[in-house]
Structure 1
Amino acid sequence: MTLIIFDCDGVLVNSEEIYLATELEFLASVGVVLERDVYTDTFMGLSPPMWQARLQSIIAERRSAPLPSDFFKQLDDHTTARIELHLAALPDARQTIDGIEARRCVASSTPSARLRWKLQQTGLIGLFDPHIFSSDMVLNGKPAPDLFLHAAAAMGVQPGECVVVEDSVNGVMAGKAAGMQVIGFTAGAHCAGNHGARLATAGADRVVGSYGDLAAALAGLGAW
């Protein structure tokens, strides 16, 4: 394998656990209670437009009254405040990635400007810049393969020579649809219960729970 493609939220930084807690809290405040596992499998890894469209559809099924007109703005403002306060790199991310000799890049559903901000705030941007790819660069976000195929093409690497590191069911599905090896990553605090099993069911070739295990898995795949 010659290219390792990292997701960002929940793989490089802890933002996914912040999003999860905030979104479930806000949904409950308008009377829409979703199980944590159902929510993560359905929504985690989607681009913001896809997330909002799918969420609005589910809310419409469960609420007779329309949402407050500023619901998504309030949610975004509250999430942004929490992200700015609590965002951090996952434990051992910097040290492990810095020791990887294979080529690497980031491919995330987060919009480009916000993605770069997250990497800058956590001190990880130097590990990847300029090889940072966002779903706003492609027509279809995850679980479609477009973003991973775009990243591979931009890096001049065939899909079969790529390993994707993903924490979401939608991301795993996208990596497999792109014809890539996928490692399911469950080191984030949001990966509770049987999250690893669900990543495996979605098609992950291996599932690991820490950066130490990730390094071993990549070495086992011949990634470096």
Structure 2
Amino acid sequence: MIDAVIFDCDGVLVDSEVLAIRGEREALGALGLDYDPPTYVERFVGMHDRTFFAALRIDYRAVHGQDAPSDFEETVLAGRRKHKDGLEAVAGAHDALRAARERIGAVAVASSSRAEFLRSKLERTGLFELVAPHVYSADLVANGKPAPDIFLYAAERLGVAPARCVVLEDSVNGVRAARAAGMRAWGFLGGGHIFQGHEERLIAAGAEATLRDFRAAGRAISALEKSIR
């Protein structure tokens, strides 16, 4: 039985990943680090910034033979913010949250985004009031995805056993985190950053099913209920 649905934010509820990836890759390219989009999505999407920048610094040293410059992180973050004005909710996200609360029960958001950015994105897209107060950032835990910490924290706050939670995630790291938490995981493919082969990567990471969109709340919840059964 499933008593709670936990949504990732970026790339699931809010179509922010495609904007962030574009800006980050532009900034990294100028620093001599070039990644093709599918590789970038598989390696980095879903990571907390601590883990993300640690991995990038390793790549920088491997390419350039020296440490990254002191302004490395701020340069990449500036690239991420460059396209923020185009932020929108994923189609059908509002109805999906409402339906999940009505039909499934407890609902939360558990994200790798920093707390202030997470709330801002949800508020700007009209989603925050549909899930508050259960909005949890990886800033609250010791380890970001693919570690299970944020999902375990969300389950504890909801008062629901991990085995009774299902997670909707767009990233390989997020699916791995959900599975490590002992939760069911479904891959979400409705974000603008999804590339060919990503569905297979999510399944390989542990997703038991995938959802292509939220265009109709009835369709999304029907898919959830069928998977629950």
TM tier relative to shorter chain: over 0.9
Please report how far the alpha carbon of residue 78 of structure 1 lies from its aligned counterpart in structure 2 after TM superposition: 3.2
Do 1:106 and 1:132's aligned partners in 2 also have CA atoms closer than 8 Å?
A: yes
User: 2 CA distance for matches of 1:126 and 1:147?
Assistant: 21
* Counterpart position of 2:91: 91
Alignment of 1:41-190 (within 5 A): 41-83=42-84, 85-100=85-100, 101=102, 102=104, 103-190=106-193
User: 1 CA distance for matches of 2:150 and 2:173?
Assistant: 12
- Give unmatched runs, 5+ long, in structure 1: none
User: 1 CA distance for matches of 2:107 and 2:50?
Assistant: 27
Letter in structure 2 aligned against 1:163: V
Please report how far the alpha carbon of residue 81 of structure 1 lies from its aligned counterpart in structure 2 after TM superposition: 3.5
User: 2 CA distance for matches of 1:10 and 1:42?
Assistant: 15
User: 2 CA distance for matches of 1:63 and 1:215?
Assistant: 49
User: 2 CA distance for matches of 1:203 and 1:106?
Assistant: 20
User: 1 CA distance for matches of 2:67 and 2:211?
Assistant: 41
Structure 1-normalised TM-score? 0.94
Corresponding residue SS for 2:168? strand
Number of residue equivalences: 222
- More displaced, 209-218 or 43-52? 209-218
Structure 2-normalised TM-score? 0.92
Do 1:22 and 1:79's aligned partners in 2 also have CA atoms closer than 8 Å?
A: yes
RMSD: 1.5
**Offset from partner CA, 1:154-207 (integer Å, 9 cap, x none):** 111001100000000000000011111101001001011111111001110101
* Counterpart position of 1:195: 198
Structure 1 runs (4+) greater than 4 angstroms displaced = none
* Counterpart position of 1:219: 225
- Give unmatched runs, 5+ long, in structure 2: none
User: 2 CA distance for matches of 1:96 and 1:56?
Assistant: 38
* Counterpart position of 1:37: 38
Q: Percent identity?
A: 39
